[in-house]
Amino acid sequence: MNNQKRLAIFERLSEAIPNPETELNYSNPFELLIAVILSAQATDKGVNIATNKLFPVANTPEAIYALGEEGLKTYIKTIGLFNTKAANIIKTCKMLVELHNSTVPDTREALEALPGVGRKTANVVLNTAYGQPTMAVDTHIFRVSNRTKLAVGKNVLEVEKKLLKGIPKQYIIPAHHLLILHGRYTCVARKPRCGACCIYDLCEYKDKITE
């Protein structure tokens, strides 16, 4: 795909999605970190239901650590893998207090050293909380990137690297949420809403559709 087409895609997505933001509820980098850890194999809606109860009670590393695993589980038990997530979050809170003065670090190395934080979670925090040019490739971004040919890859890391190289500079920060929201509501997995797609004529996936 040439640069002119890439630019046109992001111009249109920006017009269609004027406020590209995460759908996770949070008010500071720590709340975002916890929400993103909880969001693995879970919906944003499900995470928000849990954190809307948790954060008014505990929204600092010290406060969540004080809950302990069992205490934390009472708030997140509706979320998949809550036992593992509770254990990781308690360990992460301990590390934040002891190693980072209760502040969420703004480097990939430090973030990925936290229990339960992988490359994708680190990318979300770096991009959303700290405005860094990172790309967290989830199932939506992976699907949209391959379908449109924005970035064709066999795995998420390959797609991530190609996106970061090819996205126009002025869209590198909002691109993460533009692609996620487009994939979540328009370029859906089973029956993509091509008739409602603002970049339909720029997408190569349409050539594979037979009706």
CA–CA separation, 170 vs 182, rounded Å? Answer: 18
Q: Are 147 and 119 in contact (CB under 8 A)?
A: no
Task: Report the candidate in 33, 150, 48 with the shortest Cα–Cα distance to residue 92.
Answer: 33
Residues contacting residue 139 through CB under 8 Å, at least 6 positions apart? 183, 189
Q: Are 20 and 173 in contact (CB under 8 A)?
A: no
Amino acid at 197: C
Amino acid at 128: T
Could you list the active site residues?
120, 138
In this structure, what is the dihedral angle of CA atoms 173, 131, 35, 21, given to the nearest 10 degrees?
-40
For the record, the structure tokens of 109 come out as: 């190395």
